[in-house]
Each structure stands twice: as structure tokens, then as C-alpha cells.
């Protein structure tokens, strides 16, 4: 559709059941063809947008294997489109399978609890009926986190938390709020805005992911430096498990034993269902400044980023795009790498910090066009501003998943993956991923592939490289091709002792890498905890343990 | 002893087996008498310094119940003084019991492993011989963390890690180091200093506590705001458990499942023995500024501190002393409360931040003597500087535990405890603790007691109040009196849903409060993890679970 068309109001918009985000944001056929033309070896025409009715006709979507009890019937639906939309997440392999009419196992029922007791009742019922329960927030998992892949359960229930979407209490003095787990990003922020507060957690999936999903997957946020992972903003949580509900106290900090919340943060629905949390908030930033710096030498840019992360300047944004990524996002067209820098504060002017950061970047060979100058920033929440390169990057950032789906319709493999490693490993790790994944794609398809890298988060002791792979597909086995490429990538990550995931979570796709990464005694402890909390093994089976 | 006497070199100094720190730092009898005179109802003369030989003579310290195997004999000792020194921590109730010749159960053997394999061998042997293993770092626990109190084990082994004290590797580029768990604070910093790096973790026990102890108890550090708890500085850890050794990968950040390290952080020796960790370091600060601000109204000072914590100024130090605490530490003598402020940075000047913080404090009625002006700071690591009130507070801070022991020799009850709560509860909580503990002490002893408060750590969403209680004892039952007063305090904390401990850990003294605080499903998970990792139940029995 034309980008200038007036879009319907959000409540009237339709979410895509097979691809990313809003159905009306998907690139039209002509745009898919134009994109495909840039990548050798793709199809001449896009695969058609799939139709749920074909799944019913093709008997991939039949009658549910269990009948909802009358007492819970008002929370449950067996609607085919609803069930299909809850079958998978939004990874390349999910979109590719949907386009080919081969989705994963479709849940028998979708439940939409309206409160904690509903969740407990649903778990009780499922436990007594051999039914696996897959907690579902915004459904934006790119690692198979919301897709049942086992065969040992009689039925599968997708537990959609999005009806539990309210900000229940706000403590303005202490800058915190009690928020239900099913609140999607924009809805959550809209409810906080009248209080002058913000969670300011802006993953790329912001529009299509929930607080509960962020907590369950330990999501990485907006801030490129400093505390950014959602973990650090949790004051307390409530989690419904099959053996009872866990509620931690609302505390600014405690040293009483291992943190209860930290066991459930990252538990990906395998230990319990997160129903609400008190979250630490911020005042909305009033001071912002951003700039883009270009570098000829990627390794020099890496050193600049490391120095910035180790300075006391604390940029809110410090994302480095390699030349390919900068070109793809329109941030540069001359083969430069681009460093996107941003500072923000509710109380303190930040122009001085940006100026010092630019000096530091220049000392590593960075170039910043002084005529453009630092300019106010524009955030996903609509605050004003915009340095041109920064704005181009951000618009592309939010558009990328839609374009990815367009490329998949052209038969391409288009996917991302991410990791984190200490600085001593980062340069060689990035080079190895580029080289080895690129070579594997060339060998498998006969066409050169694109393997770009950006740093999404940086730390004083390391960074989180994020890779984009664009490759010609193979007719009818694009998923297998991607699985092969991902295995090559995972092997490189393991060799460099880089994490299998920085913020995409483990899900089911990352289980082999996760099992290699986690210490065996911890795995024993986690399995024991799982058995204690979920004795019937109904919670998101196959995730993390079991 | 006279404070001006030249002290022997550290290696020649003798640690007190019954009280805090160095034996030669303990106040002399005359100083004890002078202190006692300030507190109504104390003894006329100090209790004598106890002698280990009396424990042997009184049959409180007999032959070990187990014999060390020949293969491990070189790691073990049954020396009476060594065993007595490992029997308890350094709480009031520990010192009081030692002074009365009634220490807790004295370990049969003390082990000093020199490496990870030694630890594994010792656990193997202990598991096969019904021997409880109590991990021991600097022994500064004030919550019964290093004292075996059960009766179900044949023998008790104190596992003293201090022979494992080396910085094994330093990554200057990534500002991190691999450090053995038994390194005491000053030794650790001395080994990092040649690299220009510092962990900058300065609990009050800095001289007498180890990295492993900090990790096992989730210690709170030097920084009064921002990331200060040791948890945030862990890159990876190695932990020896009875079923194998857990080694996490060295990562700047990872979202792969619940954090393995977070299970062992705060595990207080109940899940495994921490042997080493890669720790995130900082460059040594080159810019420092500090100042003291006085307030007439404690509640106005609380509001000033909250605003500071919610600003983006990030003071390194932001400790509020109430009037009693300010007088006790010499920071004020006119009935004022005192706010100790400090800023530091390796790279950026901090004078501007201090000036803005002073403006903010003044807007809440704070007074800062402009003639004194901001002055360079003095840290426990000996960096130069000193605003007078700040210097007085810091000197008193490090001296307090010694004076506490002097008061205990005068028969007084002298102890501290701490908590944390959200801002909405902090003022009423502090008032309630002061009122109710003070009333209980008066009722029990017939003499008015001192109950002071300071904030040791502040957060945007709350603070950690730290209380000092000085009360007349009762002949021969000071410990029971204190246990009663602590129960009153714990009841107030529970009523306000304030944590049973912010950074003193749970140990054995805080078990009742901890059991009320932690969510029951988490307790189930933790017990299951304990059973999986320590199937014979030998690790620090009675701590956290079991």
C-alpha cells in the first residue's frame, strides 16, 4: 500500500496472522519485486499472501482435540484465524512456513484470561487434561518461543495475555507502576503518559510485544548503554505457576538470598505465567541531542565505541552500523560505517555530553558534519526532532521487519540473529560470522549473500553484534537452508564463547546453543525447579528444559 | 591502644578471634569505660578480653570428631585458636557470646584449599563423612552466616577460602579481571592497582571480607546510587558444587534463560562454593568532589535525597545521617542531620554536578557552608582529599565496629541492622523502628536506648535505612535481650514490607524474616535446586533452605 494513504485507527487495524505487524503495512507486490531485484537468485514474482481458509481446507487446521469446560468457555476460542495467528512467532522460518502453507502445530484453543484467577483456573484445567500451555504476549518471538513442537501432549492451549493490559496503580513519588503483563508497548506508554512517566523500553518489536513477553525473555531495550535490559527495571513480579502464585515484595533492592524475580526473568513461560509487575519508571526526557558519525574503518569505529562505553558520558544511543547496514538503512551511501549517538535526560542539558562524545569519536577518525550539527532526537514514542542520518536509521529500523517479509515473499532468506561478547573477541567474532556465514550461503545457493552487522547494545566490557543475512533462497527448502546457515553461525558463536542470544531469547531454535552455553550444574538446578513448579510438565514444553 | 602508636606491618598483625578486625585496633580498657559512661546502665568495668585457652580448659573446644584423610591433611588444621576464630561471625551476639565464653559450635577442622580441585576434593570427602561444610571468607558475617547451628552432622568443616587470593588474569582493554574468591578487599585492590583498575567495592567490612563473601551474600558497595550491589559487576563465576563445577561464560550481557550467575549470587554457601569470578572493573577515579549538607528537618532531608536519587546527577556517595548518627560520627554537633555527598569520575570533571546537587539540597532547606566549599574526597583506598564533615564521617564509619566491641565489653547491647523499602514507606518505617525498638529497649532494661538511622544506599524508587541500636544490657542475657529487640524490629520491617536485609544477608539470624518475605513457589524452586546440587545436604546447613 501507498505510504501516504491515511491509515485506519489502531483498533480497526488488522494484525497479520502470517507476517510481521499490521497487515496494511506490508509492502505491496510491486515493492516486493523491486526489493527482490536487488538480491540475485530470488523469484520473479512474490509468493501470494496466504489465506487461513486454505489451512482449514488442507486439513492442517481441524477441530480442537479438547473441549473447553463450560466454566472457562468465555475465555476460550477455537476460531481458525485466531488459532493460526497463535501457531508461530515471527522469525523468517515462521513467515516462510506460513507462506508455503506449512505452519507448525496449530493450537487447539486460544485463551484470553482477564485476571490472575483466570490464569490459575486455565492452568488447573490444562494440567488435568494433558494440555500444554504456551504463554503468548505479542507473539513477536523470533526463536520459536510461542510454537509447540512436541508430540506428548493431548492438546495445546495458547495463553494470550493481551486482555490483561491495564496499568493498575501508579506511584508518582517513587516513579513506579503496577502493570499487567499483557500490555503492548504503545498501550502501556499511553497509560503512563498522563502521569509524566515512561518505562522507556523500546525494543524493535515495541508495537507488537508485551511487558510480560519482555520479562519472560529478558528483553533488551532502547538504551544502548547502561542498564537497558528489562531485568533492571523490575521492582516486583507476580507469576502464576501450577503449584501456586509467586508474588515478590515491592522493593528498591534486596540482598535476601538469590533474587526470586531473577529466576522468573528469562524463564520464557517454562516456570510460570507472569501476570503483572511493578516496574521502575522514568520521567519523560526533556533534553535530547543526537548525531551520526561516519567512519571509513570499521575496526576504528569499534575502538571508538568501546571508548565511549567506557567513558562516563552514558549515551542513551550508541549504535554502530557497518557499511552494509548503513547503506541498507539509508544512513550512509558512500561505503562508510555510521555511529548513531544520542543523549537524553529529564533534568540535565545533554549538548555538552554529545559534544564530548563527538570529540572522542573524532579522535578515532570519525567524521561528523558540523554543518548539520547535533539536533533534537525523535523517539519511537513520537517526541520531536531529527538529525537526518539518525532519522533515516530509525525509520528504517522500525520498517525492517516488514521489508524482511517482502523479501521472504520473493523466495529470499532474510533473517537476523544476535549475540554478545567481551571486547577482546568482538572484532574477530564479527569477521568470522561475516566470512563463514557468507561462504556457506554462497556454497548453498550459488549466489553471494549479504551479511551485515550492527552493534545494538554496548557495554564497558563488550558489545552485542546483531547480524542481518539476506540470501537467495532455494525453491521449497528455504527453511532448511536457513537452519543450515544458522547452524554455521551458532558454531562460530560457540567457538568465540559468544552468547547464543543477547535479547532474542532461547525459545526452541536456540536450545542446542543454549544447552552448550549454560553450566551443567545450573541446568540440573533449573530442571529441578521446573519439576517443582510444573510437576505435570505443561508449561511451554521444550523451552529451556525438558 | 594509643592511636598514634606505629602499627606493625599487616602481615605481622593479629586478627581478633572474638571481635572485629585487628586485635591491636581494639579500644583499650580506659576507652571502653569512657564509652560506657555515656550509656546509662552499663558495667563499671569492661568484661575481660577472652582467651581461647579457656575454651579448651572448659571443654568447649575438644578433639575433632573426624580425622582428616592423609591426602587432604596438608589443607586442614585442628589448631584450637584457628577453630575458635572460625566458629562465628562478627555480630553483636557473636562478640557477646565470645566474651562470656559461650561461642557457638566450634568447627572440628579448618580447611584452606589452594585451588578449585582442593575444594572439590574437600566436598567429596565431607559428603562421604557426614561432615557439614561452612564456606568462610573474611568471617565478617553479622547474621550467623558462618556458624553451624545444627546437630545432624557428625562434624563441621570450616572452609576458609583466603589462601585462594590471587588476581589470575587482567583484561585491561575490557576492564575486567579473573579473581579468586578468597581475596580480601585491600589485597584485591593492591593487585589491581598496577593495572590502573579498581573494583571499587567498599563495604564497611572491606578490610575483612572477600570477593567470594561479597558474591555469596550479594554485598552492597561503595556507591550510594546507581549499580552498587556486587551482582552487577559479575561477568562470570565458577562455583564448585557437590555434583560438579559450574562455570559460566565471560559475557558482557546475555538473555539466554534465567541468569546462571544470579542463582549463585546470594546463595550464601548453600548451593556451592564460589571459587573465582571475572569481575568488571573501572578506571581509578581522577575527579572527585564531596560536601556535607546539614538539615534541621529529617523528613525534608529525605525528600532532598529522593530528588537527588531521581535526578540524573548520579552521586557516588549520597548518605543521609539522622541527628543521632551525625552526632555519633562527629559529622555534626548541633542536632542537625547531615547529608554526605560525593561525586567521582575517571574522565569527566564532577564539580558542576556537585554544585547542582548542592542547589537541589538547598531547595529542600539544606545548608552547606560555602566557605568550606567542595573539596577532593578521601576513599578507603587512600586517595587524597577531605571536606571536614565528610572526613569525620568516614573515619568514624571504619572505626565503628571496633567501638561497638568496646561497648559490648561494657555489657551494652550495641548492634546494627538494615533494610530497604520504597519511598512511600521510608519515612513512616524509620519512625516506627525508632519508636518501637526504643520503647522495647526501655521496657526491657529500664534505661533509654539510642536508635539512630542513616541511609546507606538510595535508589530512584526507595532507600536502604540502616539502624544503630545502643542499649544497656542485662547481666548475662544481653544476647537474649538483643534477640528480643531484633524480633521487634523484624516485625516492623515485615509490617511495612521492607526487606529483612538490604546487604547483611540472611545467614541464620534472618531466616524467620526471610521465610516470610520470599514467595512460596520460589522457596519450592530453591529447595529443589538445593537438593539437586547438594543431595547430601552438607553445604552450610540451615542457610536459606533446610
Looking at the fold, whether B439 and B331 belong to one and the same domain comes out as yes
pLDDT in tens, A419-446: 999 999 999 999 999 999 999 999 999 9
Determine contact, residues B390/B316, Cβ cutoff 8 Å: no
Tell me whether B522 touches chain A (CB under 8 Å): yes
Q: Residue A107: what pLDDT? A: 98
Checking if the pLDDT of B103 tops 80, the result is: yes
Which chain B residue has the Cα nearest residue A218? B255
In 3D space, the residue among A216, A190, A371, A155 whose CA is nearest the CA of residue A284 turns out to be A190
B348 and B218 in a single domain? The answer is no
- Is A452 a member of any domain? yes
Q: Are residues A194 and A321 in the same domain?
A: no
Q: By C-alpha distance, which of A467, A470, A466, A430 is closest to A447?
A: A470
**CA of B190, closest CA in chain A: separation in Å?**
21
Tell me whether residue B151 is in a domain: no
Answer whether B258 sits within 8 Å of A258, measured CB to CB. Answer: no
Residues 426-485 of A with CB under 8 A from B: 457, 459-464
User: b/e per residue, B110-148, with b = 16+ CB within 10 A?
Assistant: bbbbeebebbbbbbebbbebebbbbbbbbbbbbbbbbbb
Statement to judge: residues A240 and A346 lie in one domain: no
How close is the nearest chain B Cα to the Cα of A314, in Å?
A: 11
Residue A301 sits at the chain B interface (C-beta within 8 Å):
no
Average pLDDT, chain B: 92
Q: How many residues does the structure list for chain B?
A: 546
| CATH number for the domain harbouring residue B176 | 3.30.465.10
- A347 and chain B: CB distance < 8 Å anywhere? yes
Nearest residue of chain B to residue A460 (CA atoms): B174
Residues A291 and A279 in one domain: no
Specify the number of domains making up chain A. 2
pLDDT band per the 50, 70, 90 thresholds, residue B494: very high
The verdict on residue A513 lying in a domain is no
Region A28-50 average pLDDT: 94
Instruction: Work out the pLDDT band at B1, boundaries 50, 70, 90.
Output: very low
B328 touches A at CB < 8 Å:
no
Give A-chain residues touching B490 at CB under 8 angstroms. Answer: none
State the pLDDT at residue A387.
Answer: 61
Average pLDDT over residues A34-49: 93
- Given pLDDT bands bounded at 50, 70 and 90, which one contains residue B9? low
β B450-459/B462-471 pair status: antiparallel
Q: Which of A499-503, B34-38, B497-501 has the lowest mean pLDDT?
A: B34-38
Interface test with B, best of A218, A343, A522, A528 (most B CBs within 10 A): A522
Higher-scoring residue by pLDDT: B138, B329: B138
Least confident of A147-161, B357-371, B500-514: B357-371
**B532 and A528: CB-CB below 8 Å?**
yes
B44 part of a folded domain = no
Q: Do B312 and A346 touch (CB under 8 A)?
A: yes
Residue B128 has pLDDT above 70, yes or no: yes
**Beta-strand relationship, A197-198 and A282-283:** antiparallel
- When CB atoms are compared, the residue of A220, A248, A306 closest to B255 is A220
Cα-based distances in Å from B39 to A196, B371, B413:
50, 36, 10
d(CA B31, CA B406): 8
Of the candidates A495, A510, A528, which is a domain's last residue?
A: A495
Strands (E) across B309-449 are located at: 317-321, 337-345, 413-418, 421-422
Report pLDDT digits (tens) over A228-256. 899 999 999 999 999 999 999 999 999 99
Angle at A222 between CA A218 and CA A227, to 5 degrees: 60
Taking the CA atoms of residue A178, residue A182, residue A186 and residue A188 in that order, the dihedral angle to the nearest 10 degrees is -10
- The domain boundary, picked from A283, A298, A331, lies at A283
DSSP helix/strand/coil, B360: helix
CATH number at residue A428: 3.40.462.40
Query: If you average pLDDT over residues B404-415, what whole number do you get?
Result: 96
HSE-up (13 A, CA, CB side) for residue A29: 7
Three-state secondary structure along B150-186?
CCCCCEEEEEECCCCCCEEEEECCCCEEEEECCCEHH
Residue B468's pLDDT is 97
Provide the chain A residues 375-394 that lie in CB contact (below 8 A) with chain B: none
Contact present, B499 and B517 (Cβ < 8 Å)? yes
Residue B77 lies in a domain: no
Residue B374 confidence (pLDDT) = 43
Quote the mean pLDDT of chain A: 92
- B516 contacts chain A (CB < 8 A): no
Percent of residues, chain A, with pLDDT higher than 70: 95
- Specify whether B299 is located in the same domain as B434: yes
Question: pLDDT digits over A79-130, tens only?
Answer: 999 999 999 999 999 999 999 999 989 999 999 999 999 999 999 999 999 9
Identify whether residues A305 and A230 lie together within a single domain: no
The A residues from 183 to 242 touching B (CB cutoff 8 Å) are 217-220, 227, 229, 235, 239, 241
Q: Is residue B488 part of a domain?
A: yes
Residue in A with minimal Cα distance to B240: A521
Residues B250 and B364 occupy one common structural domain: no
Chain B: give the shortest CA distance to residue A248, in Å.
Answer: 6
Handedness of CA A501, A273, A264, B493 (dihedral sign): positive
Q: Is B254's Cβ below 8 Å from some Cβ in A?
A: yes
A131 in contact with chain B, both atoms CB, cutoff 8 A: no
Q: Are B219 and B312 in the same domain?
A: no
Select the residue from A143, A258, A260, A420 to test the B interface by mutation, using most B Cβ atoms within 10 A. A258
User: What is the number of other CB atoms lying within 10 angstroms of the CB of residue A284?
Assistant: 18
pLDDT tens readout for residues B325-370? 999 888 898 999 999 999 999 888 999 999 999 999 999 999 997 6
Residue A227 confidence (pLDDT): 80
The answer to whether residue A7 sits within a structural domain is no
Whether residue A272 and residue B521 make contact (CB cut-off 8 A), yes or no, is: yes
> Which residues of chain A make contact with B306, given a CB cutoff of 8 A?
173
Chain A residue with the nearest C-alpha to that of B545:
A257
Is A260 found in the same domain as A174? yes
Q: CB–CB of B162/B184 below 8 Å?
A: yes
* A80/A109 Cα distance (integer angstroms): 9
Please tell me which residue, A8 or A27, carries the higher pLDDT value.
A27
Domain hosting B394: range is: 287-495
Report the predicted TM-score, pTM, of the whole model to 2 decimal places: 0.95
In terms of Cα–Cα distance, which of B485, B447, B467 is closest to B42?
Answer: B447
Is residue B271 domain-shared with residue B297, that is, in the same domain?
no
Judge: B306–A173 Cβ closer than 8 Å, yes or no: yes
Per-residue pLDDT reduced to its tens digit, B175-189? 999 999 999 999 999
Cα–Cα dist B173/A346, whole Å: 32
Question: CB of B510 within 8 Å of any CB in chain A?
Answer: yes
What are the strands, taking DSSP E only, across A112-270? 131-136, 155-160, 167-171, 176-180, 197-198, 234-241, 244-247
Distances (CA, A) of B388 to B14, B192, B303, B385, B393: 31, 29, 24, 10, 9
| Whether residue A348 is found in the same domain as residue A386 | yes
Distance from CA of A465 to the nearest CA of B (A): 12
List alpha helices for A43-170, DSSP H: 52-57, 80-85, 92-99, 116-128
Residue B543 lies in a domain: no
Residue where one domain finishes, among candidates B262, B283, B304: B283
Min Cα distance B466 → chain A (Å) is: 13
Amino acid at each position: 500500500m501507498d505510504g501516504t494513504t491515511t491509515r485506519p485507527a489502531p483498533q480497526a487495524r488488522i494484525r497479520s496472522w502470517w507476517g510481521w505487524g499490521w497487515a496494511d503495512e506490508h509492502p505491496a507486490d510491486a515493492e516486493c519485486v523491486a526489493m527482490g531485484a536487488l538480491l540475485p537468485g530470488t523469484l520473479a514474482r512474490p509468493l501470494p499472501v496466504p489465506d487461513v481458509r486454505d489451512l482449514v481446507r488442507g486439513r492442517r487446521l481441524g477441530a480442537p482435540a479438547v473441549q473447553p469446560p463450560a466454566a472457562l468457555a468465555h475465555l476460550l476460542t477455537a476460531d481458525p484465524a485466531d488459532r493460526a495467528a497463535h501457531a508461530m512467532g515471527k522469525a523468517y522460518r515462521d513467515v516462510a512456513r506460513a507462506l508455503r502453507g506449512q505452519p507448525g502445530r496449530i493450537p487447539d484453543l486460544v485463551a484470553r484470561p482477564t485476571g490472575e484467577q483466570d490464569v490459575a483456573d486455565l492452568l488447573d484445567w490444562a494440567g488435568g487434561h494433558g494440555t500444554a500451555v504456551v504463554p503468548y504476549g505479542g507473539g513477536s518471538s523470533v526463536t520459536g518461543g510461542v510454537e509447540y513442537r512436541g508430540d506428548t501432549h493431548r492438546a495445546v492451549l495458547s495463553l494470550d495475555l493481551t486482555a490483561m493490559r491495564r496499568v493498575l496503580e501508579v506511584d508518582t513519588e517513587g516513579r513506579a507502576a503496577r502493570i499487567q503483563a499483557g500490555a503492548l508497548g504503545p498501550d502501556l506508554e499511553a497509560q503512563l503518559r498522563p502521569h509524566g512517566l515512561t518505562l522507556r523500553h523500546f525494543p524493535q518489536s515495541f508495537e507488537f510485544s508485551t511487558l510480560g513477553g519482555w520479562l519472560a525473555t529478558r528483553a533488551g531495550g532502547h538504551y544502548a548503554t547502561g542498564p537497558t535490559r528489562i531485568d533492571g527495571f523490575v521492582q516486583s513480579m507476580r507469576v502464576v505457576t501450577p503449584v501456586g502464585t509467586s508474588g515478590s515484595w515491592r522493593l528498591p533492592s534486596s540482598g535476601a538470598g538469590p533474587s526470586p524475580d531473577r529466576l522468573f526473568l528469562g524463564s520464557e513461560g517454562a516456570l510460570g505465567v507472569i501476570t503483572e509487575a511493578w516496574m521502575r519508571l522514568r520521567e519523560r526526557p526533556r533534553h535530547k541531542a543526537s548525531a551520526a558519525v561516519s567512519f571509513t574503518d570499521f575496526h576504528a569505529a569499534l575502538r571508538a565505541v568501546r571508548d565511549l562505553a567506557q567513558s562516563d558520558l552514558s549515551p542513551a544511543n550508541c549504535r554502530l552500523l557497518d557499511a552494509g547496514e548503513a547503506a541498507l538503512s539509508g544512513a550512509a551511501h558512500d561505503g562508510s560505517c555510521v555511529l548513531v549517538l544520542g543523549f537524553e535526560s529529564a533534568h540535565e542539558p545533554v549538548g555538552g555530553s554529545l559534544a564530548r562524545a563527538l570529540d572522542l569519536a573524532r579522535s578515532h577518525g570519525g567524521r561528523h558534519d558540523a554543518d548539520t550539527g547535533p539536533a533534537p532526537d525523535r523517539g519511537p514514542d513520537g517526541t520531536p526532532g531529527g538529525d537526518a542520518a539518525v532519522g533515516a536509521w530509525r525509520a528504517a529500523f522500525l520498517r525492517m521487519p516488514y521489508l524482511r517479509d517482502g523479501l521472504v515473499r520473493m523466495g529470499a532468506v532474510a533473517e537476523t540473529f544476535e549475540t554478545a561478547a567481551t571486547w577482546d573477541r568482538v572484532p574477530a567474532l564479527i569477521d568470522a560470522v561475516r566470512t563463514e556465514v557468507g561462504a556457506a550461503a554462497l556454497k548453498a545457493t550459488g549466489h553471494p549473500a549479504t551479511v551485515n552487522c550492527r552493534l545494538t547494545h554496548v557495554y564497558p566490557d563488550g558489545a552485542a553484534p546483531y547480524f542481518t543475512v539476506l540470501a537467495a533462497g532455494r525453491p521449497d527448502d528455504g527453511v532448511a537452508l536457513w537452519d543450515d546457515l544458522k547452524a554455521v553461525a551458532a558454531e562460530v558463536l560457540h567457538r568465540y564463547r559468544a552468547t547464543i542470544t543477547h535479547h532474542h531469547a532461547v525459545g526452541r531454535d536456540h536450545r542446542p546453543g543454549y544447552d552448550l552455553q549454560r553450566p551443567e550444574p545450573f541446568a540440573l538446578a533449573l530442571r529441578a525447579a521446573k519439576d517443582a513448579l510444573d510437576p505435570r510438565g505443561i508449561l511451554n514444553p521444550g523451552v529451556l528444559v525438558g
